[in-house]
Amino acid sequence: MYRRHCDYIEEGYHVKDLRILGRDLSKTVIVDNAAYSYAFQVDNGIPITSYYEGAVDYELPALRDYLFSLRGCKDVREVNRKTFRQEEFTRFTTVEEVVEELYLKK
């Protein structure tokens, strides 16, 4: 999905809504280095770090292994929920609050 497929929310972020794909969300994931981009379907999100250099990048092999681990599962959201514990962010009312929690607090 590209920016043109996103919902622009008033806090100034582009959020991807997986429902526009018309696919079974129990079998759909979104991989993104910006967690706010999948704020509408948190349990479908797989957070990754930004990619900068191929020789020292460990994210792609880890992602590959994780995606292989999802094969055959009934609902990827259940596995993601247990693995990434992103439901903690559903307590926020705006994407801006989530971004602040993820990126601005130290």
Q: How confident is the model at residue 64, as a pLDDT?
A: 94
Answer whether residue 19 shows pLDDT above 80: yes
Query: CB of 33 within 8 A of CB of 45?
Result: no
Q: How confident is the model at residue 13, as a pLDDT?
A: 83
The CATH number of whichever domain residue 72 belongs to comes to: 3.40.50.1000
Whole-prediction pTM? 0.76
* C-alpha distance across the termini of the chain, in Å: 31
Per-residue pLDDT tens digits for 29-59 = 999 988 888 988 989 999 988 877 767 778 8
Cβ–Cβ contacts within 10 Å for residue 66, how many? 17
Q: How confident is the model at residue 86, as a pLDDT?
A: 74
What total number of domains does the chain contain? 1
Query: CB of 18 within 8 A of CB of 28?
Result: yes
Q: How confident is the model at residue 45, as a pLDDT?
A: 93
* Between 63 and 89, the higher pLDDT residue: 63
With a CB cutoff of 8 Å and minimum separation 6, the contacts of 18 are 25, 28, 30, 38, 40, 41, 44
Indicate the pairing of strand 30-32 with strand 45-47. Answer: parallel
Q: Quick one: average pLDDT of 65-69?
A: 96
Angle between helices 76-84 and 59-70 (to 10 degrees): 140
Q: Give the range of the structural domain holding residue 14, as residue numbers without chain letter.
A: 3-104
